[in-house]
Amino acid sequence: MTVRAIREFGDLVLREPSRPVTRFDAGLARLVTDLLDTCRAPGRAGLAAPQIGVGVRVFCYNIDGDEGYLVNPRLVSSDGRQDGPEGCLSIPGLYLSVPRADHAVVAGTDLAGQPVEVEGTGLFARCLQHELDHLDGRLYLDHLSAGDRGQALRVIRTRPINEVFS
């Protein structure tokens, strides 16, 4: 079992679009295993490869015991709307209300390059969209209004992050 360190806000890898996976080999299998092992810690719903310093398009999820991963994922469709608290392992302790689609369908591949599609609503849809954002070099802060984003950045820059606000 390998639990990897989480890259935090300010690390450039979190702001760079990830490269597509082109080699489906033992290295990719190790990456997926590391992501899943790292995501199994309590309170973790999803984890993207850039969050452990690897700039490729892979993420995993673990929502209410439903665990899996996608390689080269892409959003197929989304609809509805939900607003609710969202946090990020790369911005520990900060939870903000973020608008997201209430339903999302994401397609990608498995470790053998075979097509896979996952569909979720509520928290699962939020997780799928959040992890896709990471692969595109975006953070959940990017979905906030300018005022809320500014307030969040002031909190991040001025003190340890251990507050909840919205």
Residue 161 belongs to a domain: no
> By three-state DSSP, how is residue 145 classified?
coil
Q: How far apart are CA 161 and CA 166, in angstroms?
A: 14
Residue 148 belongs to a domain: no
pLDDT attached to residue 148: 87
Domain count, the chain: 1
CA angle at 106 for the pair 96 and 34, rounded to the nearest 5°: 75
Query: At residue 134, what is the residue type?
Result: H
pLDDT at 57 over 80: yes
The answer to whether 3 and 37 are in contact (CB under 8 A) is yes
Residue 7 belongs to a domain: no
For residues 158-163, average pLDDT: 54
Q: How many residues does the chain have?
A: 166
Residue 158 belongs to a domain: no
Q: Provide the domain limits for residue 124.
A: 12-91+99-142
pLDDT at 107 over 80: yes
Residue 56 belongs to a domain: yes
pLDDT attached to residue 93: 84
Sign of CA dihedral 97, 19, 23, 89: negative
For residues 11-29, average pLDDT: 97
pLDDT attached to residue 65: 84
Catalytic residue among 8, 67, 131, 163: 131
CATH number, domain of 47, equals 3.90.45.10
Higher pLDDT, 41 or 77: 77
Name residue 63's beta-bridge partners. Answer: 66
16 catalytic residue (yes or no): no
Of all residues in the chain, the percent with pLDDT exceeding 70 is 95
Residue 120 belongs to a domain: yes
The pLDDT confidence band at residue 160, using thresholds 50, 70 and 90, is low
Q: Where are the alpha helices (H) located in the chain, listed in sequence order?
A: 26-39, 123-135, 146-158
pLDDT at 162 over 60: no
Residue 129 belongs to a domain: yes
Q: What is the pLDDT of residues 141-155, one digit of tens each?
A: 999 989 888 888 888
Q: How far apart are CA 103 and CA 141, in angstroms?
A: 20
pLDDT attached to residue 166: 38
Residue 18 belongs to a domain: yes
